[in-house]
Each structure stands twice: as C-alpha cells, then as structure tokens.
Amino acid sequence: MTIQTPAWVKHAVFYQIFPDRFARTQRPLNHPAMAVTLEPWETPPTLSGYKGGDLWGVAENLDYLKDLGINAIYFTPIFQSACNHRYHTHDYYQVDPLLGGNEAFADLLTAAHDRGIRVVLDGVFNHASRGFFFFNDILENGPHSPWLEWFKIENWPLSAYDGAQPANYTSWVNNRALPQFNHANPAVREYIMQIGEHWIRQGIDGWRLDVPFEVQVPGFWEEFRDRIKAINPDAYIVGEIWKPAPEWLDGTKFDGVMNYVFAGPTMAFAAGDRVAMQYAEVPEYYPYPALDAAGYRSKIEALLALYPWEIQLTQLNLLSSHDIARALTVMGDDLASLALAVLLQMTFPGAPCIYYGDEVGLDGGLDPDCRKVFPPEKAWHQPLLAHHKALVALRHHYAALRTGSYTVWLTDGDLYGFKRELGDETLLVLVNAGQTAVPVDRAAYGELATDWRAVFGDLEVTSQKVIVPSRSGGILAQP
C-alpha cells in the first residue's frame, strides 16, 4: 500500500504546552469558574495544585511562539477534569472551565490559525475518570446502572477511593482513579470515534493519542484513522509509543509516534557521562549509557531503518515532555549538552517538538518538577533562546533539513557528521561532543571537497581543514 502522511507535519516545528503552567490571561474576566484560589504562580509545582494557566493566556503569547518559529502546538489534555494535568477526563465535549471553557478554546484556535499555527489535542481514550458521568452513575447506582458494560466491572461492591479494599474494576495500571473503557462494547467504540470526529470538525489539526497500545480491540485504531481522515485528510495522528513501533506505523494507524527512540540516544551522545541517572533510570527511553559518535551512528541508523521514509518525516522528535525530567536536568544541567542535542534535533528527519520553557533554560526533575510554570523573561537564558531561534529559522529556510535524505559520513571519537541532501541543496552537519577541538582534513573526505561556508555555529573553515570546537557543532552549506 501507498503510505500517506500529512505534508504539513514534515515542515512543522511543534511546541508542547502543559496548559496549567504556561500563562495566565491578562485580560479582565467575568468567568466565575475561573475566579478561584490558585497556587502562587512562582512556587514549585505540586502533584495536585493548580497554577491557573489558561487558553487565553496561550493566545496572548502566540506572537512569542511565532517569533520562535513555531508553526504547530501540541496541548496536553484540555478537557474538563479534576486534576491539573487533565488526564482524568470528566467530559470530552467540554474544555475545562479553569482553562476558559469552549469559548477560550475557540478564540485560541482562531488566533493560532490566523498565524499559521496548527493545533493538535491530546486524546485520552483508553480510560476516563471516576468523575466521568457514565462511570459516576455506576458508583451511584451500583449494579442497577445502565452503563455497566461501558467499563470492566469485576465484582461488587466497587471501591473507587479506599485503597484498603479491592477496586473490583479494571483501571489503567491499577490506578482506581482511571477506570478503563470496555472498548469491545460497540457503544463505547462509537462514542470515542464521535469524540475524535467532533473536535476535528471544530477545526483542530490532529490528535496525539495517550497510551494507545492499551486498546487491544482489533481494528479500533484503523477505524479511528479512517474516520478522522475522512473529515480532514491532513489531520495528524500521533501515538504515545515509547519503543520501536513498526506495527503502529504501517500506514493503517498512526502518522507518527512520540520519538523517544530518538531522544534517548541523542542525549546519551550529547551529554555522555554527564547524565544524571536519578532522573533517567525510571522512564524507559534510555539516555544512557554514554555513546561516542560510532555508537550514536548505530542507534540512529537502526532508527532510520525501522520505518518507511514517509513515516520518518512525520515522527514527533522530542527531547523533553511532561512525562520525563527535562532534558537540561537529565543532562546534568549542562547547557552545552542541551545545545548539542537541540542541534541534532533540529537537523533530524521528522518534526522537532520543543517542550515549553526548554528553549529558555527551564529545568525540572521528574513529575511534578518537569511541569514548572513558564519563567518570567528576566529568568530566560537568552543565548539558549537565540540558539533555538537560529536553528528553527535554518530548518524553515533549507528544505533539505526538513525532507532531504540523511547520510552519516563521519564518525571519529566524539565527532559526528552527517549530510542532508535534497535536489541541488546539500548541508553538512558536524557535532563534536568531546572536550577538545577536532580538525577535519578536507582532503580525506569527499564531502568536503567543494566550497563550503558555515551557516551555523563556530566552525572554522580553511582551504585544508574544518575545525570543530569542543562541545560544539555547526552546519555547512554551499555558497
């Protein structure tokens, strides 16, 4: 079969936003549901507390994102929920009132689209919550509820809150706050399909699917794809799959996955033995052990061999997310390591995704610390922000960095070099993760035989050599 993926994703630079922590609106509000007591914005985040970021706040900062070069946003869940991360969905048709409700989302979507910024929402369709109406009816009415077959009830009585008693229903990872849908029930299946269709009709540009591997019903995600694409063939469907995922990326289910298989080796090469293992060992994406250039090449070429090229170009390439410690913290708070990783990310096939605040040096350990509020401008690391802006601009400027072929041509100790090529456009990327500058003899490499100029980084180009400074990298283009 011919695999088709959304063309726009190949040219996208995503920005992931955790809505409660990005920005509070500055506009005057007459919304009683938002007139509530919140945690102080500047204090450390807690597992249960709300900071009060909202969607009007995001809309007011779209020009900042546009200036950064962002043209797509992935939001973690925004639907009504009784938790700050909103993975405990109460109502899939209502945006959370603390975020401004459906009115705020409509305003945001219009403002984003007016700026050429796409919007992808998080679809939490494996499980609901204790507050989800259909499950709450079961808690109220027990075996008399009409919704029993929507969930996997095992015995009575249900214990939704008392951990000393068996829950007696199936929940995600045995978390009784997250009752799992019975996806084999045709009514449940249709309900979820209609949710997906509804928000596509409202104008969203795609779905990121939470733990889709938990849904074991044959044909479920194939039908979801068919129905979403029937409404908008350009909608992006990306799954949260942490491991190699060829069975999910055969053209019948998802357009891409959250590419943790890229994130782990990239940090292991960029940071080496600087990785802070207390932040890296629990999540299964392996930014360790330290890799030299040859080891990194092996990991990257194995990744590129996993999927068809059309799929490679629509992977979601991240370094941080709401589920792992921030890249800066994982890499030992070493800014040079983060800068190297971002260089590799922005020059790799697929859509790079910046987790909000990473571009200004926001740090953070494991949840909830990785979900800090976006810092005030006085706390921004301006050179790191400039580094992101420059690389994003180059990615937008050179088509070869978006859809060109990827060929490794140099591995020497901690020096890694690869080529992105499309038509008559060729770029060479050199990354030196080592502690000493490395001179590359141009006569020894055919790739360096023609004229080149540095378009990014501190590369020194002479007639005989290209010198790559320590803990640095750059991009060469032909004049």
Over the stretch 326-383, which tens digit does the pLDDT of each residue have? 999 999 999 999 999 999 999 999 999 999 999 999 999 999 999 999 999 999 999 9
CA-angle at 368, arms to 171 and 44, nearest 5°: 150
Task: Give the C-alpha distances (Å, rounded to integers) separating 84 from 47, 53, 59, 107, 314.
Answer: 8, 10, 19, 22, 29
Q: How many domains does the chain have?
A: 2
Q: What does the alpha-carbon distance between residue 112 and residue 205 come to, in Å, rounded to a whole number?
A: 11
Pair (384, 433) in one structural domain: no
Task: Give the C-alpha distances (Å, rounded to integers) separating 165 from 140, 159, 160, 172.
Answer: 18, 6, 9, 17
pLDDT at 249: 98
pLDDT at 30: 87
Residue 181: how many other CB atoms lie within 10 Å: 25
Question: How do residues 32-78 score in pLDDT, each as one tens digit?
Answer: 999 999 999 999 999 999 999 999 999 999 999 999 999 999 999 99
Please tell me whether the overall predicted TM-score, pTM, comes out greater than 0.95 for this model.
Answer: yes
pLDDT at 29: 86
Q: Which of 347, 339, 328, 345 is closest to 386 using CA atoms?
A: 339
Q: What is the DSSP letter of 184?
A: T
Residue 113 is assigned to a structural domain of this protein: yes
Give the active site residue among 205, 240, 292, 323: 240
Residue 386 is assigned to a structural domain of this protein: yes
Contacts of 369 (CB under 8 A, 6+ apart): 44, 45, 325, 329
Give the active site residue among 210, 255, 292, 323: 210
Q: Which of 122, 140, 145, 137 is closest to 199 using CA atoms?
A: 122
Per-residue pLDDT averaged across 161-179, rounded? 97
Pair (418, 385) in one structural domain: no
Pair (305, 412) in one structural domain: no
Q: Which of 262, 310, 311 is closest to 287 using CA atoms?
A: 262
Pair (328, 412) in one structural domain: no
Question: How do residues 290-314 score in pLDDT, each as one tens digit?
Answer: 999 999 999 999 999 999 999 999 9
Residue 369 is assigned to a structural domain of this protein: yes
Query: Which of the listed residues 347, 382, 401 is the one where a domain comes to its end?
Result: 401
| 3-class secondary-structure state, position 415 | strand
pLDDT at 106: 98
Residue 281 among the catalytic residues: no
Residue 152 is assigned to a structural domain of this protein: yes
Residue 163 is assigned to a structural domain of this protein: yes
What average pLDDT does the chain have? 97
Task: Give the C-alpha distances (Å, rounded to integers) separating 299 from 46, 264, 302, 346.
Answer: 36, 10, 5, 17
Pair (392, 428) in one structural domain: no
Query: Which of the listed residues 354, 370, 401 is the one where a domain comes to its end?
Result: 401
pLDDT band at 109 (very low <50, low <70, confident <90, very high): very high
**Is the distance from CB of 16 to CB of 353 less than 8 angstroms?**
yes
Query: Which of the listed residues 401, 430, 448 is the one where a domain comes to its end?
Result: 401
The terminus-to-terminus CA distance of the chain in angstroms comes to: 40
Pair (195, 286) in one structural domain: yes
Q: What does the alpha-carbon distance between residue 374 and residue 358 come to, in Å, rounded to a whole number?
A: 9
Residue 2 is assigned to a structural domain of this protein: no
Residue 210 among the catalytic residues: yes
Residue 285 structural domain: 7-401
pLDDT at 467: 98
Residue 356 is assigned to a structural domain of this protein: yes
Q: What does the alpha-carbon distance between residue 394 and residue 19 come to, in Å, rounded to a whole number?
A: 28
Listed in sequence order, the DSSP H helices in 348-420 are: 382-397, 400-403
Pair (391, 414) in one structural domain: no
* pLDDT of 479 higher than 90: no
Pair (282, 428) in one structural domain: no
Reading the block at residue 473, the tokens are 């990298």
Residue 378 is assigned to a structural domain of this protein: yes
Q: What does the alpha-carbon distance between residue 170 and residue 113 come to, in Å, rounded to a whole number?
A: 40
Pair (11, 99) in one structural domain: yes
**Is the distance from CB of 439 to CB of 465 less than 8 angstroms?**
yes
Q: What is the CATH number of the domain that holds 193?
A: 3.20.20.80
Listed in sequence order, the DSSP H helices in 305-432 are: 309-312, 327-330, 335-346, 382-397, 400-403
Residue 65 phi, psi (nearest 5) = -65, -40
Pair (50, 179) in one structural domain: yes
Task: Give the C-alpha distances (Å, rounded to integers) separating 252 from 248, 279, 293.
Answer: 8, 35, 35
Pair (223, 318) in one structural domain: yes
| 3-class secondary-structure state, position 301 | helix
Pair (295, 370) in one structural domain: yes
